C-alpha cells in the first residue's frame, strides 16, 4: 500500500512540475496561436544552468530566477527572429531550438549529475524547516504543488491586466491590437518571453528533482506540452468557472498518469516517446471529433 501511495505521489509531483512547462505552451499555443518549438531547447537550458549552478554551490532557491532569466532570453531570441527579422513563427522556433542545443552542451556538457550531498529546493534549510518531518517523496509533492499553484495564480492575475488582455487579443484579433495603437510584434515577443521563462523554470525544477541534466531531456517536450493543453482544455471546455491554467495543470497530471499506467503495464521504457506520440495522436483525434460533434449540434 505504501509503495502504491508513493507511486501516486511521484506521478502527481511530475504532473505539477511539468504543469509549469504546460503553462508556457498554453500561452503560445492557445493564446498567441504561435507554434513555438523553442520549448525543446529552453526546457533543457533551464536544467543545464541549474545543474551547473548547483554543482558550483549556489543557493538552490537562487538557481530558479537565474533559470527563468535565461529562459526569457531564449524566448526573446525567438521573438526577435520572428518579429524583427521576419522569419516565420515555426522556423524562428526551430532556429532558436537548434542553437540552444549547442549552447546547452557548452554550459553543462552532454550529461551532468548533481551530488547527493548538494542541497536542492527539496532539501534546503527553509524547506526542511517547514516540511522536514515529511518523507522526501511527499516533500517534493508539496513543494511542486506550491510552485504550480503560485505560478497559476500569478498568470490568472496577469491575464486580467491590460498587458495580459493585449496578449490574449493578439491571438484572437491582432488587428484590434493595432487599432489600440499597440505594436502586436512587441506583444508577441512579450508572450514568448513569458512562455519560455516558465518552460525554463520547469526544466530547472526537474533538475532539482532528478539531480541531473541530460542534453536530450528536451526532446519531445513541446509535444508533451501540447498534449496536456489539449487534454485539459478539451475535458473542461464546457465548465466555465475552471480557468485555462487550472485545466492545463489537470491535463499535465492526467497525461503523466497515462504514461505511468503504460509503464506499470510492462511497456518498455525505451518506447516512452512512441507512447507519448500515440497518446498525442489519440488526443488530437478525439478533440477534433468532439469539435465536429459540437459544430454539428449547433
Is residue 13 scored above 60 in pLDDT? yes
Q: For the chain, what are the domain ranges?
A: 2-297
- Distance CA(232)–CA(274), nearest Å, equals 21
Task: Determine contact, residues 52/107, Cβ cutoff 8 Å.
Answer: yes
Q: What pLDDT digit, counting tens, does each position of 154-186 carry?
A: 999 999 998 888 888 876 665 556 555 467 888
The fold of the 2-297 domain, in CATH, is: ABC transporter involved in vitamin B12 uptake, BtuC (1.10.3470)
Q: What pLDDT digit, counting tens, does each position of 92-112 carry?
A: 999 999 999 999 999 999 999
Q: What is the mean pLDDT of the chain?
A: 89
User: Angle, nearest 10°, between helix axes 272-297 and 244-264?
Assistant: 130
Predicted local confidence at residue 181, as pLDDT? 46
Q: What pLDDT digit, counting tens, does each position of 246-278 carry?
A: 999 999 999 899 888 877 877 776 777 777 777
Is residue 283 scored above 90 in pLDDT? no
Predicted local confidence at residue 290, as pLDDT? 63
Q: What pLDDT digit, counting tens, does each position of 196-251 carry?
A: 999 999 999 999 999 999 999 998 899 889 989 988 888 887 777 789 999 999 99
- Distance CA(8)–CA(18), nearest Å, equals 15
Is the full-model pTM beyond 0.95? no
- Distance CA(66)–CA(14), nearest Å, equals 22
Amino acid at each position: 500500500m505504501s509503495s502504491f501511495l508513493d507511486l501516486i505521489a511521484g506521478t502527481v509531483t511530475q504532473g505539477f512540475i511539468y504543469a509549469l512547462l504546460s503553462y508556457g505552451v498554453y500561452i503560445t499555443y492557445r493564446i498567441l496561436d504561435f507554434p513555438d518549438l523553442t520549448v525543446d531547447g529552453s526546457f533543457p537550458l533551464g536544467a543545464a544552468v541549474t545543474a551547473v549552478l548547483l554543482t558550483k554551490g549556489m543557493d538552490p532557491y537562487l538557481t530558479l530566477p537565474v533559470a527563468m532569466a535565461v529562459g526569457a532570453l531564449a524566448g526573446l531570441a525567438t521573438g526577435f527572429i520572428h518579429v524583427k527579422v521576419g522569419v516565420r513563427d515555426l522556423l524562428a522556433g526551430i532556429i532558436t531550438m537548434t542553437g540552444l542545443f549547442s549552447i546547452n552542451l557548452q554550459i553543462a556538457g552532454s550529461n551532468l549529475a548533481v551530488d547527493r550531498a548538494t542541497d536542492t529546493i527539496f532539501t534546503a534549510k527553509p524547506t526542511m524547516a517547514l516540511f522536514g518531518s515529511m518523507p522526501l517523496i511527499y516533500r517534493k509533492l508539496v513543494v511542486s504543488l506550491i510552485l504550480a499553484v503560485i505560478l497559476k495564480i500569478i498568470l490568472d492575475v496577469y491575464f486580467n491586466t491590460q498587458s495580459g488582455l493585449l496578449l490574449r487579443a493578439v491571438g484572437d484579433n491582432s488587428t484590434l491590437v493595432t487599432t489600440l495603437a499597440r505594436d502586436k510584434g512587441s506583444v508577441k515577443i512579450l508572450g514568448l518571453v513569458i512562455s519560455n521563462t516558465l518552460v525554463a523554470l520547469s526544466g530547472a525544477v526537474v533538475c532539482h528533482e532528478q539531480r541531473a541534466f541530460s542534453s536530450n531531456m528536451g526532446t519531445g517536450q513541446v509535444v508533451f506540452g501540447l498534449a496536456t493543453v489539449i487534454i485539459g482544455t478539451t475535458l473542461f471546455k464546457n465548465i466555465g468557472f475552471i480557468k485555462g491554467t487550472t485545466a492545463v495543470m489537470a491535463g499535465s497530471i492526467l497525461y503523466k498518469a497515462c504514461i505511468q499506467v503504460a509503464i506499470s503495464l510492462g511497456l518498455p521504457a525505451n518506447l516512452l516517446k512512441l507512447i507519448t506520440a500515440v497518446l498525442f495522436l489519440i488526443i488530437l483525434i478525439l478533440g477534433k471529433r468532439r469539435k465536429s460533434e459540437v459544430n454539428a449540434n449547433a
